[in-house]
Amino acid sequence: MAREYKIEDYRNFGIMAHIDAGKTTTTERVLYYTGKSHKIGEVHDGAATMDWMEQEQERGITITSAATTTFWKARDGKMHRFNIIDTPGHVDFTIEVERSLRVLDGAIALLDANAGVEPQTETVWRQADKYRVPRMIFCNKMDKIGADFYRSVEMIGSRLGAHAVVMQLPIGAETEFKGVVDLVEMNALVWRDETLGAAWDIVEIPDDLKARAEEYREKMIEAAVEMDETALENYLEGKMPSNDEIRALIRKGTIAVKFYPMFCGSAFKNKGVQPLLDAVVEYLPSPADVPAIKGVDAKTDAEIERHADDNEPLSMLAFKIMNDPFVGSLTFARIYSGKLTKGISVDNTV
């Protein structure tokens, strides 16, 4: 049976952060805006789709990694398949995050705009470094009292030692947070509150943000052109890259884990989620973009590679076992190559 979606149109990614940065709330907005769910499940009501365990619903925290699939029509007009894992943020469940990061192609690191980089942020960041997972950063809770986007940018450098490439600037903060400035398109997106975040207006950049937008756009372009010698030479000669070229170069740097595109918004207030979904398509890798998985031939002990190709032999990694009250034991596995079909016998080589 032929694939409905090409491998290049898949995005396997997780959402990781310190506890209470808004991972599950962001995931719930993603499911709502992609049409997977028809009402927004709130964590504080115990109604979040991804918090399926009774203990999670009672406590309002994520204890175990939850996986779901949804679809998004991006700026390129194509439908893309998203396989999303929402990971726990509490320090006691760090091993759940580690298991998930091992099988992901990319991740979104969430920050609380008030707290910035927190202790568990550093822990999950190091775990992602261990597996060289390409990441984007979403500075969430821009509506929160004390929210400071620019302090969060600084903390990424000082606490994580990472290079954040700012792709958006917030318009306002705390109760005055209205939308974002898109530094690629150089326009502003202002959400309409009455539409639950479903609609926004594209307007000119506010006068008080124009100078800062130019400053951060220049930094973004400088990071982008360093990914390609020709683009760098052209830039030094005064030739600016087009917007499509900027996106392609930012994608290249993200996949190579050279830097991390940074966005902002407020998932709870329904602002900034759709541009984040477009960014997942534009900057995070598909399975075809990541290096081949390496393993050992069980018969010869020789090191072998498997690529993201249906025609190669089956290779997969089981990363989670869950007991469902209705269907019993469920095994979550990442398929790296080949096909898993009904009735076949699979060897466990671990």
Judge if 175 and 312 occupy the same domain. Answer: no
Domain end point (choices 283, 301, 323):
283
In-domain check, residue 107 = yes
pLDDT digits (tens, 9 = 90+) for 126-161: 999 999 999 999 999 999 999 999 999 999 999 999
- Model-level pTM? 0.89
Judge if 214 and 318 occupy the same domain. Answer: no
In-domain check, residue 56 = yes
Q: Residue 224 above 80 pLDDT?
A: yes
Q: Residue 335 above 80 pLDDT?
A: yes
Range of the domain at 315: 293-337
Q: Which residues pair with 201 in a beta bridge?
A: 190
Judge if 234 and 302 occupy the same domain. Answer: no
Average of per-residue pLDDT across 282-300: 92
CATH number at residue 198: 3.40.50.300
Res 51: pLDDT:
41
Instruction: Name the domain count of the chain.
Output: 2
Res 42: pLDDT:
53
Judge if 12 and 160 occupy the same domain. Answer: yes
pLDDT digits (tens, 9 = 90+) for 23-34: 888 988 998 899
CATH number at residue 326: 2.40.30.10
Judge if 91 and 156 occupy the same domain. Answer: yes
In-domain check, residue 1 = no
Domain end point (choices 283, 304, 323):
283
Judge if 32 and 127 occupy the same domain. Answer: yes
From the list 14, 3, 4, 7, the residue with the least C-alpha distance to 320 is 14
